[in-house]
Amino acid sequence: MSGDKIVVVIDRDLEDIVPGYIENRHKDIEALRKAVEEGDTETANVLGHRMKGSGAGYGFDEITEIGRHIETSAKSNDIDGVKKGVADLESYLQRVEVTYE
């Protein structure tokens, strides 16, 4: 992924809760790193599933896709796939810029 900003336009009604949602995804990165270190695919599966289910609802379709990748990788015991998903999530969160309408 390049270093370009990703602008996501979100409904103003979600303005109060989106920062907390993003902060929780940062916490997920740490939990996923720990899961990868420990070979804990069950935790990675749960976190990926949660992101898959919630991302689009907050306006973050890319988080849904990353979550799907993490979940699928974890179900297949593919730790390298989970690592890639973690790297993709970290890159996305560093580049995403939220605007509200």
Domains present along the chain, CATH in parentheses: 6-100 (1.20.120.160)
Q: For position 71, what pLDDT does the model report?
A: 99
pLDDT under 70 in the chain at which residues? Answer: 1-2
Pull the structure tokens for residue 83.
């690592």
Structure tokens at 94: 């560093």
What pLDDT, on the 0 to 100 scale, is given for residue 1?
Answer: 46
Q: What are the CB-based long-range contacts (under 8 Å, 24+) for 9-14?
A: 9/59, 9/99, 9/100, 9/101, 10/58, 10/59, 10/98, 10/99, 10/100, 10/101, 11/59, 11/100, 11/101, 12/100, 12/101, 14/58, 14/59, 14/100
The pLDDT, as a whole number, for residue 3 is 75
